[in-house]
Amino acid sequence: MAPKWKQLLMLDTPQAREGCIWVHACSVGEVGSVVPLIRRFLSAGQGVHLTVVTNTGFEHARRLLGDRVSLAFLPWDLPGLMRRYVLHLQPRLLVLTETEFWPGMLSACHAAGVPIISVNTRISDRSFPRYRATRWLWRRALNKAELFLPASRLDADRLRELGVENHRIRLVGNLKYAVTPPDVDALSLRRRIDPSQARPILLLASTHEDEERRVLNMMPAWRQFCPELLVVVVPRHPERFERVAELVREQGLRLHCWSQGESPVGVDVLLVDAMGQLAILYAVADLVFIGGSLVDIGGHNPLEAAVCGRGVVTGPFVQNFREIMHELVMQGAAVIGRSDDEVEDIIKRWLEHPEELQALHASAAAFMQEQRDVLDRIWAEMALRLA
């Protein structure tokens, strides 16, 4: 594969199928959410070219899709480069995910007569003031898109406030609900993590700086009720693996790393120092904490846990998934702890009252079953443009 910088400058052009569907997803989260739609395109006989921005997004796409799609980094959003890129690809349709609004890309596709659909359009609390302050600029750019399928009613309202015409907005559901359970041998995975296959497993998913320390400080209280508790930590960013390992050792806890193979007996904390493993770990976790929520990151996707029949607990910062978390909480499939103490107490209660934990998990499974047709609704909008 050509170096990234050559792809950014279009000194290396992708070998995409003419008339392909061009899908753009920024990073890991966007790639993960759009994969079910990409698989639907492939099943319908469409070629797909996927562009990403980040290295982690590229590697995640390659793991999930292999060589079934052509994959490249998005060139710099300069008018000349984008015109050349569109001329080279000759895509049949451009599908954008979330907030991937690149003016050069939009203009080049619009000028070439390529229909543009934004799926799961999401404008975060943090970015919305900036968009609103320059809405005179964005109104013209965004109305080059034929259709927006926003992630929530709030996102639809924000699009209207930015000047997107109402007939270009359609609420059909959140694509993130289209997540599917991982294909995993749960018994073998459980054996690798816990040779006894009897210990309760608490999964700390997608944790960020300072969260591991704060959660590990809660362990003494939990172990009063459950001395055999095993904590599995999956940091969000790989560059933090070593720092988290040091933190666990500083706490005097017995550490084992995923890269070392099967866990020995007596481990306190398993550090997953590898990318792409989180989805399968939900299938064997007994309790799940979603990171990015004790610190003001905004939380991460709880639906990968829910589709495995696992309810979740989070900290107070869940604005990235506000509507999804609201629905899960209302259905009894998630609990939001408003402080470290609340998170500690929630997990302590579940350890003391496993029947309440099982009810949480059952609610998560039932909720995901109710959402199973969202991909069909989104696909129906795509099929109209491919007819």
User: Which residue numbers are catalytic?
Assistant: 30
Instruction: Report the candidate in 372, 21, 31, 310 with the shortest Cα–Cα distance to residue 174.
Output: 372
Measured CA to CA, the distance from residue 325 to residue 319 in angstroms comes to: 9
CA–chain centroid gap for 240, Å, is 19
Closest CA to 26 of 60, 63, 3: 60
The secondary element (H helix, E strand) that includes residue 190 is helix 186-193
Contact 378, 328 (CB under 8 A): no
For residue 313, what are the β-bridge partners? 289, 335
Tokens read off for 272: 């997953």
Looking up tokens 């750019």 gives 141
- Comparing CA positions, the residue from 91, 92, 97 lying closest to residue 35 is 97
DSSP state, residue 34? H
Residue 149 CA neighbour count, 13 Å, CB half: 22
Evaluate the CA torsion angle 153, 158, 161, 166 in order and state its sign.
negative
Distances (CA, A) of 362 to 2, 127, 228, 283, 328: 47, 36, 24, 14, 12
Helix, strand or coil, per DSSP, at residue 167: helix
Spatial distance between the Cα atoms of 302 and 386, rounded to a whole number of angstroms: 32
